[in-house]
Structure 1
Amino acid sequence: MSKNLMEILKSSGYPNLQTADFSLAGFDAYINNRQKSTQGKGYRSYINSCVTLALYKILFESAVHNPGFVIIDTPLNGLDDPQEISDDATSELHNFRDILQHAFYQTLIRLAEYGQIIVMDNNKNLPELPSLEGKCDLIEFTKSTKRGRYGLLEGKTQDDFQDQEYVENEIQDEETTDQEGSETEKVEVDD
């Protein structure tokens, strides 16, 4: 796991990378002998994404039952937060933010040979990558019924789920009323 993590961090542009270890005891990553929790939010998110990709690669190479895909949600979430700078090491990492974004997505392209990679990310985190063209399907969720695709479930909007929740609550209320009525009838019969 540590070997794969080191390879993925290196290919995805982690600056001044010297060591990458994964502790099975704590199920956590240590980068340059620093525990992941000492990093800022964006770099923790980035490291978690790299750990996920390292595990994905192990499953492809060794697992009897390889799922053949991985889903990563906002892998670079928080990298754009200027409040992240807390010490010299994090400040140095901050200078490499743009390089990290580009290199991370290039790494995803390379790892796609192992199976399907599904990434959900915000537009602000997506670097301009002409090399993505023809290698992936980019679907933008617009939350608009007039432009593009509304959301993950094609043809469904937020209103559809609110209506469904209303129906489920109505059914649950009816079942509760029926159960209460049945208990009352039992009490009357027992008298």
Structure 2
Amino acid sequence: MEQLFWSCLAGGVLFAVVTVIFGDLVSHAVDGMLDFLSVDGHRKLKPMVIVSGITAFGGAGLLLLHYTPLGGAPAVVVSLVAAVVVAYVVYVAYVRPMDDSENSTAFSIRELTGRIGEVLVPIPPRGYGEVLVKVGAGRTNQIAASFDGETLHAGERVVVVEVRDDTLFVSRFDGGTERGHTEGNAN
């Protein structure tokens, strides 16, 4: 029984050391090979959570064998409970907050329909120009064409009517609201 506990503890410590020292190299080398450890339906089953549970199982088992009167089977049961508790704490205290903190600045160009923008490069009636549109906390420049076939001059406010072939089709903006935001908050 002691060999099982030592193996689990040593494997977990080795995994931690390799991850800290060679984490990026190993990540690129095995790129996606360990994805089977993260079960899609169960976000909690991530390699870090699994390995922390195995390491806690080994450490708790060794401590229980050496410092308590518990023998083989009871030590395994208590170690399993300790492993589940530690894995849960690792998930709640580290993994879930890290998952939630991963923000992306990516957006779909289709999300720009209905947004208010400003013409940067004049848009001729049958040609292309450029508009600046607010996306989240930032702004993006996009190729634009006139939806109504009108000339739109630099500095004019426009609304994105449609997105086709990665081009924003815009019309002159006369006022009103943008997706629940007042005119003053649109840009």
TM-score by length of 1: 0.22
Higher strand share: 2
